Structure formats: structure tokens, C-alpha cells
Structure 1
Amino acid sequence: MRGPNIEKTLTSKETFIFKDLVGPYFNPKWHFHPEFQISYIVEGKGTRFVGDHVQTFEEGDLTLTGPNLPHLWRSDETYFERDSKLLTRGLVIYFDHELLSRSLLEKEEFYKINKLVENAARGIEFHGKTRSKIKDMLLGIASKNGFERIIKLLEIIDLLANSQDYSLLSSPSYTNVFKGDDVEKMRMVYDYAMTNFKTKISLEEISSMLNMTTTSFCRYFKPRANKTFSRFVNEIRIGHARKLLLQDNFNISQISYECGFLTLSNFNRQFKSITKMSPHEYRKLFLNIKTSIS
């Protein structure tokens, strides 16, 4: 059985590659590969999927994903519009998992790097000053050659390993169970959800698109996403709500309907379930942070 969801990014003669990716939108394909991946978003906004984690992203987003951890940076719908002049840019490094061999990681000097490798299996998002430092280092690595490039990569890995400004993404219980043509089916699910989350999502329609009954689709989706389809859609909706709450264009009731919720009470309930705070508390918290920074 073919496995189009597995992408090989390195040749047998390469330890790592650096890419400065510029385009109308980010790769819309849900995929995984055997290499580690460091990703820095220079330009672009959307929703990031890593394992079973769903979260919005914007400029400055910095992550490290481990080998065979499924991921997708899905640009906002405005990037896919026919007359869109928007561009995305990402700085990406793919490096061979054998660069950090098990025998090497067992050495005392590699304790922190070993911890980084373990955490990368769930995906790591970095915050604070780590972001700007890594951006400069990524931009500088393009001009290096030979072993000097390896040294620069190890410096990047060391900086990430020593950073305290990070959070883990996918849950501890997440396991990659993708196989065969799963990636194409899940791509259809993600495309449908991202296109329609502002309106009523039809379980019957998405099931029909995959030639499944609603019952078989629900059984299919849950082990692959580590959550129910309704939870998955709500996380996308709440992610969009987070963006809108940081703006002054809408009140909370308007945001509720803009994100696809039919009632304000359900919006408040789902928002608190996912973020552990109410929409009002979320807006107040980040407005206070914005005020303190300025």
C-alpha cells in the first residue's frame, strides 16, 4: 500500500537542508517525514496542526517538530482567494535524526539536547527572545558552507535546548497511526473544516466526501486526530475567536456568530473548555499584556 503521507526531504548525502520558502500560501498538505524540522514564520497567518494540537499562528511563530510527527501550517482562507496578493515566507531546516544518535544523547554533555529531542516528539513552540535569536541564526546559515554549516546548526539546536521559553504542542497520549491513503482523506477533512467552520458543519457532507457513513467517519477520525470531529472543529473556531478577541472590531457576541457558534452560551462554554478562561478574561488578559508592553 502506498504511503503518500510520508515525505523524504533529505538525500542520503545530506545531513540537513535549509529552505527560505516564499509563496502565495504554505504547503496545504498534512504530512510527516523522518527528519526533525525547525520552522520560523517570517510572513503569513493561519492555523497550525501538530499531532493532535490545533492553534493559530502568525509572524514570529517558531517550532521544532520531531521525526514522523504529522503537521500542517494551513494559511487563512484569504491566501487562497483568486485575486489575493498576499505572500507567505518561512525559514525551515530539516535535519537528519541520525545527527543526534542515541549513543551521543546518552552522554552527560548532551543532557539538555536529549530532553529537547524527547520533547520534539510532541512538537515544541518557542516564545520570547528565543524567536528573534533563532531567526537571525537561520538567516545567517544560508551563507555558510561545509562543516561550518553543521557547526551553525548545532549552535541553533543548543540555543533551543537551553531555552526556557517554550510549550509542548501535541498531547502525551498522541500516537501517529497514519497509513496508506490517510493523508489525502485527512487533507479533505482539514480543507472542509477550514473552509466551512464559520457556518454549520455538515457531518453528513464530509462523510459523503470520504465515501463513508457518519458512524464510520467518526470511528475513522477519532484515533487519527486523538479527538472527536466536533472537538476538532470547535478548536478551529476557538482559534479564530482568539484572533478576533485581540482586535476591537467585534464584541464578544458578534465574535461568537462570526466563528460559527449558534448561541453565545455554547461559545462561552466551548471557549472555556479549550482555553481554561472565558472570552472576556482572555481579551482582558491580552489587552493588559499589550498595554504593559507599549
Structure 2
Amino acid sequence: MTTPNIEKTLNPNELLLFKDLVSPHFNPNWHFHPELQISFIVKGKGTRFVGDHVETFEEEDLVLTGPNVPHLWRSDEAYFDADSNLSTKGLVIYFNQELLHEGLMKKNEFYHINKLIKNSARGVEFYGETKRTIKPLLLRMGNIKGFQRIILLMEIVNVLANSNQFKLLSSPAYTNVLKGDDTKKMSLVYAYVMSNFKNKIALKEVSDMLNMNTTSFCKYFKPRANKTFTRFVNEIRIGHARKLLLEDNLNISEIGYECGFSTLSNFNKQFKSIANMPPHEYRRLFLKIKTPLS
């Protein structure tokens, strides 16, 4: 029997691990682990996967993920080019849930922290002033050791627990059903889609990668991603389209074709289905925010 492909983070004698990660690109493997994780992106761009949630990320992305929540910060394809001079940097804290014992969570003083830990099962993204408050605290983590790190972690957790500047990522119905070599298979699929979403993706090619027929692959993929493969591909494409719309260099039709849609009508339809507004409205709202009032 194969064992779950779980990433090893803490050893049995640790409660907390801090990493200042600098590399050409972020870990490209879809994975999970029993520890909670706080991730802050200092440098780098790409697509973030948390449970069944897919969204682009950029610098100063701040996310909390709970125990055994599958996740992946996939760098843009440019970071994987052999001649690329791009690099990434992330500040990450892994901590054991034993630090926030169930008995403590029942006390009044831990009400907000208990709510935060429950929300972490879906992944939590923080924004606004919360990010600006957390960043210097994470930077301090690299300069201290031992119990001082535990104290600083509690300060960080307290800020997150009392913030109202957050959004939950995975859907309420999402549960991690990955087992055996699922994470390896899903990583193959994710990597293939990220490399090929601008072109037509043949379901048979993806199925063949996992030695499945197309029917078996569709049945395999949906409960693990909590969505159909077609929906997954469209979410990747729309995520890229959002970035292109904000850059304001291409017209909407050009963006649709650049993201793998063969017709403008289908691009508009899928964009509205995923972003809850048509692409021209998305661009208009962003430009309104971007342009200061005179």
C-alpha cells in the first residue's frame, strides 16, 4: 500500500519552523502537511491553489492554511525558463496545532483565535492593513530563536485572529480526499495545464499522462479538485486573463485568444461565470480604483 505524499516540515521535537525561502521559483508540487502554515510572498508572481480555490498571486500575498489543506504557489512559466534570471522569495511559518490546544480554544480569551483556526481549514487570505502589520513581524522571526519565536508567533496569530480584512478561499464543501500517490498525479495535471492553458488542451493527452481513459480521468479528477477538469482549466485561463486586463496593454478580444479561448463569446461567458462580471467591467472597476480622483 502506498503512503500519502505528505510534505515533511517539523520534526517530532519542534513546534515551530520558520523559513526564509529564496529560489528561482516556488515549490511546484501540490502538497499538504499536518501543520498550519502562514505564507507571505516577498517576491514572485504566479497562480495559487488552496484546496479547490484557484487564483493568481503577486508580491505581498499573505495566506494561512490549516492542517492537511492541499496547496501550491505555482510560479509563472517565465520562472522555469532555463535562461531566466527571475527569482522568488517567501517567508513561511509552519507550526504545530498543539500550540493552540483544544482545551485553550474553549476559553473566552481564545474565541477569535479558535475561529481563525476553524477558518484555516478553507485557507484564509489577508489584505489591507493586516498585511502591512504582519510583514515586519515575519521579518523579525528570522532574527530570534527558541521561545522568543513562540511569543512572536502568538502575536502574529493574534493580529490575524482579530482582523476583518480577510477572505476564505476553498468552498465550504471542500474536504481533502487525497491519498496514496494522488498528490503526485495532481501535480502532473497542474503542471501540464499551467504550461499549456494558452493552447487547446486535449482531455486524452492529460488522461494518458495518468494511464487512464478519459472517462476514468474525469471521475478521478472531480472529487479531488471539487470541480470538473473543464472548470479547472477555465479558472486557470480566467486567472491569467485578470492579470492581462490589469496591465491594460491588450484589448479584450486579444486577451481572450491569448488565454486559450477560441471565441470572444466563450471568453466573455466563462469570465462572467468565474469572476461574476464581464471582462470589460472588471477592467473598468480596476482602472477606477487605480486612477485617483482629481
Shorter-chain TM-score: which interval?
over 0.9
Q: TM-score, normalised by structure 2?
A: 0.98
1:143 aligns with 2:143: yes
SS of the equivalent of 1:198 reads coil
Deviation at 1:284, TM superposition (A): 0.5
Equivalent residue number for residue 193 of structure 1: 193
Offset of 1:3 from its aligned partner? 2.8
Does structure 2 conserve the Cα–Cα contact (< 8 Å) formed by 1:5 and 1:30?
Answer: no
Deviation by residue 1:135-157 (Cα, 9 ceiling, x = unmatched): 11000111122222111000000
State the 1:293 CA deviation. Answer: 8.4
Spell out the pairing of 1:245-264 with structure 2 (5 A cutoff). Answer: 245-264=245-264
Partner AA of 2:223 in structure 1 = P
Question: Structure 1 residues 148, 293: CA separation in 2 closer, same or farther (over 3 Å shift)?
Answer: farther
Aligned to 1:20: 20
One-letter code aligned to 1:190: Y
Q: Which residue in 2 is equivalent to 1:215?
A: 215
Structure 2 CA distance for partners of 1:71 and 1:147, relative to 1, 3 Å: same
Aligned to 2:159: 159
**Partner SS, residue 266 of structure 1:** helix
- Alpha-carbon displacement from aligned partner over 1:22-75 (angstroms, at most 9, x marks no partner): 000000010000000000000000000000000000001000000000000000
Q: Which amino acid aligns with 1:69?
A: V
Q: Secondary structure at the match of 2:292?
A: helix
- What is the one-letter code of the residue matched to 1:21? L
Question: What's the counterpart of residue 181 of structure 2?
Answer: 181
- Secondary structure (helix, strand or coil) at the match of 2:56 reads strand
Structure 2 match to 1:272 = 272
SS in 2 for 1:21: strand
- CA gap of 1:293–1:92, structure 2 versus 1, over 3 A, is farther
Unaligned 5+ segments in structure 1 are none
Q: CA deviation at 1:292?
A: 3.0
Distance in 2 (CA, whole Å) between partners of 1:5 and 1:137 is 32
Please give the per-residue CA displacement for 1:122-170, whole angstroms capped at 9, x wherever unaligned: 0000000111211110001111222221110000000000111000000
Count of aligned residue pairs for this structure pair = 294
What CA RMSD, in Å, does the superposition of the two structures yield over aligned residues? 1.1
Paired letter, 1:70: P
**Residue 231 (structure 1) aligns with:** 231
Distance in 2 between residues matched to 1:168 and 1:199, nearest whole Å? 31
SS of the equivalent of 1:246 reads helix
Q: Secondary structure at the match of 1:113?
A: helix
State the secondary structure of the residue aligned to 2:25: coil
Aligned with 2:285: secondary structure?
helix
Partner of 1:48: 48
Q: Is the 8 A contact 1:105 1:111 kept in 2?
A: yes
1:101 Cα shift? 1.1
Does 2:100 align with 1:114?
no
User: Residue 288 of structure 1 corresponds to which residue in structure 2?
Assistant: 288
| % identical aligned pairs | 69
Distance 2:160 2:264 in 1: 41
Read off the aligned partner of 2:39 and give its amino acid letter: S
Deviates more, 1:217-226 or 1:282-291: 282-291
1:4 Cα offset (Å):
4.9
2 CA distance for matches of 1:115 and 1:179? 28
Which residue of structure 2 lines up, in the alignment, with residue 97 of structure 1? 97
